[in-house]
Amino acid sequence: MAKRNDPLNPDPGFLSFWRERHLCTLTTLRPDGTPHVVPVGVTYDPEAGLARVITNRHSAKVGHVRAAAATDGGARVAVCQVDGRRWATLEGRAEISAEPERVAEAVRRYTERYERVPAPNPDRVVIEIALTRATGNG
């Protein structure tokens, strides 16, 4: 059974699971309302109330977030990770940032969690998800 967590004050087990190295998925909605699910690296920052995904500014996921933000006050998205029977989902409203400090912070956190420095990318942006819900069985 799924357990709800406060995304800003998660229980230790939930947070620990998000500190482990796992491939995740990001779900955005296309303009026609159908889900677009892609593999990503995600970092979770409960102190800031954010999940972050680094990506290329030209990706479909960035386009979906921008389109929803323009019409819906912010794109509703979810990120999820699974490890056997353990799983965890973070939900919230996403926005795109190309601000160098925010992108650098996202890269720093990615490097810490995934233990590798991503290749340089002049088109890199960060999807920042303002968290509203956290569920899981981790």
For residue 1, pLDDT beyond 80: no
Average pLDDT, the chain: 94
Distances (CA, A) of 10 to 81, 89, 105: 16, 12, 21
Query: Interior CA angle at 109 toward 87 and 127, to 5°?
Result: 75
**pLDDT confidence tier of residue 109, bands split at 50, 70 and 90:** very high
Note the pTM of the prediction, 2 decimals: 0.95
Best CA proximity match to 61, nearest among 92, 110, 16, 25: 25
Cα distance between residue 45 and residue 109, in whole Å: 9
Instruction: Read off the pLDDT of each residue in 54-82 and give the average, rounded to a whole number.
Output: 92
Q: Give me the helices (H) in 53-99, please.
A: 60-72
Cα distance between residue 35 and residue 13, in whole Å: 29
Q: How big is the chain, counted in residues?
A: 138
pLDDT at position 59: 97
For residue 36, pLDDT beyond 90: yes
Cα distance between residue 123 and residue 27, in whole Å: 21
